[in-house]
Structure 1
Amino acid sequence: MNKISEAKLRSNKKWDDNNRERKRYINKRSTARSFIKTMEREDIPEFEALLEERKARKD
């Protein structure tokens, strides 16, 4: 098993601290993708409607 160096651990922590919002966004995106891959068929219309609403937003 490979051990992660102290420098790499410090570097990772520094990035995490400086990019808290980006990390949160990436985590939420990953969760959403995982759910979409496993969701039931009856959930699809609701998600399509949510996507259309999001596409229509101007931000």
Structure 2
Amino acid sequence: MGETNKQTEANKRWAEKNKEHAKYLSDRSRSRSFIKKQATFDDLAELEGLIEQRKKDLSSR
């Protein structure tokens, strides 16, 4: 059990030092989970449009 606590503490320290990346990873995980488990057909259609717009925005940089 001590090893689990050490790993948990190490994870907390990493997340504290890398707040922006940790938020990115969390947001990405939640997005994927929503798409896989809860999104309706209408949600997916809307997301496809948003993804295409984001791709255009990124390619024009």
Q: TM-score range by the shorter chain?
A: 0.7 to 0.9
User: What is the number of residues matched between the two proteins?
Assistant: 57
Structure ranking higher in helix proportion: 2
Percent sequence identity is 35
Structure 2 unaligned regions, length at least 5: none
Counterparts in 2 of 1:42 and 1:18: CA distance versus 1, 3 Å: same
Q: Which residue of 2 aligns with 1:45?
A: 45
Q: Which amino acid aligns with 1:17?
A: E
Extract structure 1 runs of 4+ deviating beyond 2 A.
Answer: 2-6, 8-14
Structure 1 unaligned regions, length at least 5: none
Q: If the length of structure 1 is used for normalisation, what is the TM-score? A: 0.76
